[in-house]
Chain A
Amino acid sequence: MTAAPPADPAWADAVWAATLLAVDPQGLGGIVLRAGAGPVRDRWTKLLHGLLPARTPWRRMPSHIADERLLGGLDLAATLQAGKPVAQRGLLAECDGGLLLLPMAERLGSDTAARLARALDDGEVGTERDGIAQRWPARVAVVAFDEGRNDDPPLPVALSDRLAFHADLSAVGLRACGDADHDVAAVLAARARLPSVTLDEPFAQALCATAMRMGVASLRASLLALRAARAAAALHGRHAVNEDDARLAARLVLAPRATTLPAPPEPPPEEPPPPPESDTPPPPLNEQDVQELEERLVEAAQAALPAQLLAALLNGEVARSGGRVGALSASPRSGRPVGSRAGLPRGGARLNLIDTLRAAAPWQRLRAAEAPPGRQRIHVRGSDLRIARLQQRAATATLFVIDASGSSALHRMAEAKGAVNLLLAECYVRRDQVGVIAFRGKGAQLLLPPTRSLVRAKRSLAELPGGGGTPLASGLQAALVTALQVRRSGAVPVVVLLTDGRANVGLSGAPGRSQAEADALQLARQLRAARLGALVVDTSPQPSPSARALAQAMGAPYRALPHAGAAELSAAVRALPRQA
């Protein structure tokens, strides 16, 4: 072991995570590393690679990988050569026993994430595709590089939940990077020791309790923390987990998942928790000791909370970990295959090879008899060619931008909520995504990122606070940013703005009617320039000229709430142009 030069704590933690991951890749699942492509990330990646034994599979997976390459399927070249179906392993099976690298993991769709999650759970991959039914071992660990900026959605929870470590190198400079203390030999020794490392009951209890106090709901996190503690003990040449190991695990696994600041310790329960009936009797443990241990673990985890997260937690702003509805493809030539039809693969149409083979199959004997002998194994003719029929799944995402200011809130808020609720029911039927943005006081807030979950949409609406000034421009700006994000993810954004149009807070957050209105109109024109489908619903008691002017600047249809029934509103939303 060499003495490490002074390094950034974030870098040091990322190195710890890499080392523990090298010790128990399959058990720990992997790591989410928030870092853009660059020398720091390259250095970390190289370091991780260096910690792994030679010939460990090490593969990169593009986020748009097709199922047949991920899961495996029919090997077309070999099939044609052999004249009978030959299966081909997918990337997951090829990577068995190794690490799978995911650049741009934040762009991963939830369907691909679910496939990875299944492989992580089962340690094998099953494919039922293209006439191939097979299972291959696929014990992989995943290194997901989250290259998202602050406003991008995080990677799918189904995946990140299964990866033990979440590290952040986005703020680390190259000069702050140190070296690793461990080498392959240490990792190999630790791997050999790992199966015999024990973990005493107090540590298990303290880690679970720490997770609970930091608001980490998923039980998988606790389990991963246990394993991380074991890997740490193995690395340090111990046969039992000690407090340092548990602290390290709490810091690396639990802290980045925190959703609440740990509450002060509860008073000791009157009765010790009932011992599990059928498990091995736990060693008599001192209640006091466990409590103290738990305190120290919470402290260790808390110390590792990133500053940003800490600030957000103090404001009570961390969103409940939400799922993300599938990122959808935007290109008109892509989509989900929904069968095939006879035709020639031109003009961008994709050949469906399997169905082509199937179409040719019944004729093989006849054609072989006709053809000159020995020339080819399989006879495929033009009439056999089948092209894939693709279906666009580009869903619509309706963004509700709601004026929650005092002027609106007093009497119109309830009606606006009612109108949105009715539109929500429509969205549910169409399986659209919905997002909610509210603006009041000094700025706008994205209450609900686009989701397909009706429950969450309704919850966010019910919790919508009201009162304060009308920062209309900020609301429009938030709408623009979110709508463009939605468009990047492949869905079609539609903005529904509910306001009385009486802006009185400017973009800078300063009050003043004239500046506020100028800002609002300016942004309205930006929305128009971005060619977003939009609808302005006037919520003032009498139709207001300012809302009408706003609609005009946005190039959006205008409806006044008192006159527009729910049916008319939803018809207006449906009639909006849907440009991707």
Chain B
Amino acid sequence: MALAFPFSAIVGQDEMKLAILAAAVDPRIGGVLVFGDRGTGKSTAVRALAALLPPMRALVGCRYACDPADRAPRCDDCATLKSAARPKTHLVPVPVVDLPLGATEDRVVGALDLERALTQGVKAFEPGLLARAHRGFLYIDEVNLLEDHLVDLLIDVAASGENVVEREGLSVRHPARFVLVGSGNPEEGELRPQLLDRFGLAVEVRTPTDLAQRVLVVRRRDAFERDPEAFCAEWHAEDERVRKRLVAARKHLDQVRVDDAALEQAARLCMALGTDGLRGELTLMRAARALAALDGERAVTDAHLQRAARPALRHRLRRDPLDDTDAGVRVDRALQEVFAP
């Protein structure tokens, strides 16, 4: 794989970068959807994240790269492996799996292993992309162009954390907990509300209109393409700082306090916006906690809630086809009401 554009060299787009980092700190937030103009570095940011993530520990020989710390065996591989006296573990990179357009269902969910079936007559399961994405990220570029039947399937697996395969005489279930990251352009068509709701955070990206910033974007991109090695070396230290921040945030995420006052504010905000269900509040709280952890703080403050509100709630507002107001603006308005001194 070619070198990825360094995460820290992405100009501007702070909300997108922050949302991606927050989702990496706490997978329970439930993924990020990046919607916006062409050529704003949506895919670049996601691919850059892959290079940033610290490796994870996994059982040797497990096709799903399960966590050795997990007590209950979750997959068939682990059940066998863990019965051994001392299962071996190793460090593997966190998977960031690209779901290419035109992928077929058998490769996404997994299917009968054709090679073994044809040559040995053995009925074996060949894991698909969902298995590969377990404990990592599943990235869908142009998510609004995805086939509807694949969308349904992804929604189901992302919600349950488990992939159940019943086809070709196979009956397999395996864990598939991944963070869904999608990107797309709203002009290509809108996303189904059910899928929209599955993403924890949603950010909108715009082409910068400031000349200096535009020149900087073009210059950096140009420098990267002319000499990727040198460019990445130049940004290595900066990327390393982001990585340390991410690791530290993950480590003390559980120690970040969310007191009742913050919860109350979150509830008030969701009520003011009239979001459906509790998912909004929950995501808002988790995102705020992840932001606090990224800042190295021990408790969630109003400032964290305010920063998390836009990405966490923007896509959960009840859709009124007659109201044209940008969702982000509506969130801002509610923020001003709730957090008015």
Contact = CB atoms under 8 A, between A and B. Distances in A.
Contacts of B115: 84-85, 131
A121 B117 CA distance: 36
A323 B215 CA distance: 26
Contacts of A212: 209, 211, 214
Q: Which of B43, B102, B217 has the most CB of A within 10 A?
A: B102
Contact of B145 (A85, A111, A425): A111
A199 B322 CA distance: 50
A37 B25 CA distance: 55
Interface in B85-138: 98-108, 111-115, 117-121, 123, 126, 128-129
B204 to A, nearest CB: 12
B215 A219 contact: no
A126 B98 contact: yes
Given A114-B142, A161-B38, A209-B211, A456 B103 contact: no
Contacts of B38: 157-158, 161, 218, 220
A458 B238 CA distance: 44
B341 interface: no
Contacts of A61: none
Contacts of A204: 215, 218-219, 222
Given A223-B222, A323-B185, A131 B114 contact: yes
Given A110-B145, A161-B39, A276-B216, A129 B322 contact: no
A459 interface: yes
B265 interface: no
Interface string A210-232: 01100001111011001100000
Given A127-B102, A129-B104, A208-B218, A218 B39 contact: yes
Interface string A271-294: 001101011000000000000000
Contacts of A452: 188-190
Interface string B41-67: 001000000000000000000000000
Interface string A54-91: 00000000000001001100000001000111000000
A421 B141 contact: no
Contacts of A219: 39-40, 207-208, 214, 217-218, 221
B161 to A, nearest CB: 21
Contacts of A378: 118
B2 to A, nearest CB: 7
A240 interface: no
Contact of B101 (A111, A278, A422, A456): A111
A462 interface: yes
B278 interface: no
B324 interface: yes
B172 to A, nearest CB: 15
Contacts of A456: 187
Contact of A208 (B102, B168, B211, B234): B211
A325 interface: yes
B70 to A, nearest CB: 26
A156 to B, nearest CB: 9
Contact of A131 (B43, B126, B215, B324): B126
Q: What band does the interface of chain B fall in when counting residues whose beta carbon is under 8 Å from A?
A: 35 or more
Contacts of A451: 187, 189
Contacts of A431: 189-190, 192
Given A118-B100, A129-B104, A361 B117 contact: yes
B186 interface: yes
A322 interface: yes
Nearest to B324: A458
A229 to B, nearest CB: 11
A489 to B, nearest CB: 14
A308 B80 CA distance: 71
Given A452-B190, A453-B190, A130 B106 contact: yes
Contact of A459 (B113, B149, B324): B324
B215 A208 contact: yes
Interface string B1-16: 0100000000000000
Given A111-B145, A128-B129, A276-B216, A421 B322 contact: yes
Contacts of B219: 204, 276, 279
B188 A325 contact: yes
A365 B101 contact: no
A362 interface: yes
Contacts of B112: 358, 361-362
Interface string A111-145: 10011001001010011111111000000000000
A350 B189 CA distance: 30
A66 to B, nearest CB: 10
Given A428-B321, A453-B187, A223 B117 contact: no
B147 interface: yes
A336 B147 CA distance: 9
Interface string B189-217: 11010000000000000011101101111
B226 interface: yes
B77 interface: no
Given A131-B111, A226-B218, A358-B117, A421 B321 contact: yes
Interface string A180-209: 000000000000000100010000110011
16 contacts: A128-B108, A130-B106, A204-B218, A208-B211, A208-B215, A211-B214, A219-B208, A219-B214, A219-B221, A223-B222, A323-B188, A336-B147, A354-B114, A362-B121, A418-B322, A422-B321
Given A84-B114, A205-B215, A354-B106, 14 more contacts: A84-B118, A110-B188, A121-B43, A130-B104, A130-B106, A205-B211, A208-B218, A212-B214, A273-B215, A325-B189, A339-B149, A357-B114, A361-B112, A431-B189
